[in-house]
Structure 1
Amino acid sequence: MDRREIAALLAYIGRLDPRTIRTDQGEARDQLAQWHELLGDVPMATPHGWDARVAARQHIRISPYPILPADVARPWEGYRRDRLGRHTDPTPAVDPDDQAAWTAALVSTRRAVATGSAQPAQYRAITSGQLDPDLEARLREVGSCIPPAARAALACYRPARATREAALAQGQPDALAVRCDWCLAPAGEPCRRRRVGLDGGARGTAPRATPHPSRADLAAAQQAQQPALA
């Protein structure tokens, strides 16, 4: 805010709280200089939700103490932090090999968001909706969105999932579809190898690549019951 805007803000505050009015010309000049020094980098209003008069009115409405410059600067800093916290840097429309231009574009965007000149850029959330019919037909055709070569390459990094997929491919029951009564692993989670210390307490629960036999038996029993129930 420049000095004219500070004077307008003080006049507005004086109408709401006469205690802030300075009748002496020297005191009024000193008050204007003090507020301008402390609030010179705070805008009067922005296109996206900030207004210094609203912050001043809110303080006067809920606080019995005369307003100070900090009572306007504090909400402004909170406004800036909130906007930057919700902002995700979009890809600058400059040459990525030009480091100076790239950095300048990011800084300019963040400054515009922080000062209320632009809205925060956020990633779009995944929303529920109808699946594209063409994509749905393609997924039914290939069976999975992961290519077979990629699935084979990932098998060594997720042995439990690879074992489950191999069992399903061979027509065996899905052991992970039921809860394990031995290690208490919930449905959908791999079995755990519980290590017991000398004091009887558990020392670790490393995941197993294969399910416990009792879990596989339970899955087979449930699979056998399904045709009978049908």
Structure 2
Amino acid sequence: MDRREIAALLAIIGRLDPRTIRTDPGEARDQIAQWHVLLGDVPTVTPHGWDASVAARQHIRTSPYQILPADIARPWESYRRDRLARHSDPTPSADPDDQAAWTAELIGTRRAVAAGTAQPAQARAITSGRDGIDPRLKARLRQIGSCIPPAARAALAPYRPARAAREAAIAQGQPDALSVRCQWCDARPGEPCRRRRIGPDDGVRGTVPRATPHPGRLDLAAQQTEPIEQVQQSAMA
């Protein structure tokens, strides 16, 4: 609040509690200067729920003591803490490699929430899926094409042989074998097939992931893909 706003607030308070009125011009100037030093960083009103006159009226209504600047500053600090406690930092739209821009946007959002000029960003539920992504991030993801850059995907391929084989098969137009359950090793959709380790007594000692799915799983995926392709062809016809 500037000095004019402080004077207007003191005028409102004086009408509600005459004990705060200063009739001497010098005392009135000193009172405005004192309140301005203590409440200069407190806004008069914000777009989202804060009003200094409401805080003053609440104190005068509930307390028998004469109002002080601290009786306005305390509710303001509580207002700030409550808003920051309900705020979960949304992912900045700036390039993550630009540390300065990323940090500046994060800090700017927090300051706007604390100052009451922006609403707290609530954490999205896990079930919100891709619909809850920020539109700017969604546009950037469409531009890139994948969350993993091609160079990083190629570097990870030797350590993820099953996923690399799956991606290569899909790129070649083959059916996605991991989209169905394997009837041989009971691997669930999305999981690679597993190979059994047999001991000398013909007992199963363990299983290890296979780089390629079982042939029966490929056939099952192809069977489920064919009806979809037929429906698409008939729709185009």
Interval of TM-score (by shorter of Structure 1 and Structure 2): 0.5 to 0.7
Q: Which residue of 1 aligns with 2:207?
A: none
Aligned to 2:67, the other structure's residue is in SS state coil
Matches within 5 A, 1:70-219: 70-125=70-125, 142=181, 147-149=190-192
User: Equivalents in 1 of 2:39, 2:81: separation in Å?
Assistant: 17
Q: How far did residue 126 of structure 1 move?
A: 5.6
Say if 2:22 is the partner of 1:22.
yes
Q: Secondary structure at the match of 1:148?
A: coil
How far did residue 127 of structure 1 move?
7.2
SS of 2:44's partner is: coil
Partner of 1:9: 9
Counterparts of 1:126 and 1:27, CA distance in 2: 59
Residue identity over aligned pairs, in percent, reads 77
For 1:66 and 1:150, the matched residues in 2 are separated by 77
Q: How big is the alpha-carbon RMSD for the aligned residues of Structure 1 and Structure 2?
A: 2.6
Seen in structure 2, the aligned counterparts of structure 1 residues 150 and 77 have a Cα distance that, compared at 3 Å, is farther
Gaps of 5+ in 2: 129-179, 196-237
For structure 1, which runs of at least 5 residues remain unmatched after alignment? 129-140, 153-230
Q: Give 1:144 shift.
A: 9.4
Q: Is the 8 A contact 2:187 2:193 kept in 1?
A: no
TM-score normalised by structure 1 residue count: 0.57
- For residue 22 of structure 2, give the secondary structure of its aligned residue in structure 1: coil
Shift in CA distance, 150/120, structure 1 to aligned 2, threshold 3 Å: farther
Amino acid at match of 2:15: R
Per the alignment, residue 217 of structure 1 pairs with none
Shift of 1:34: 0.2
TM-score between the two structures when normalised by the length of structure 2:
0.55
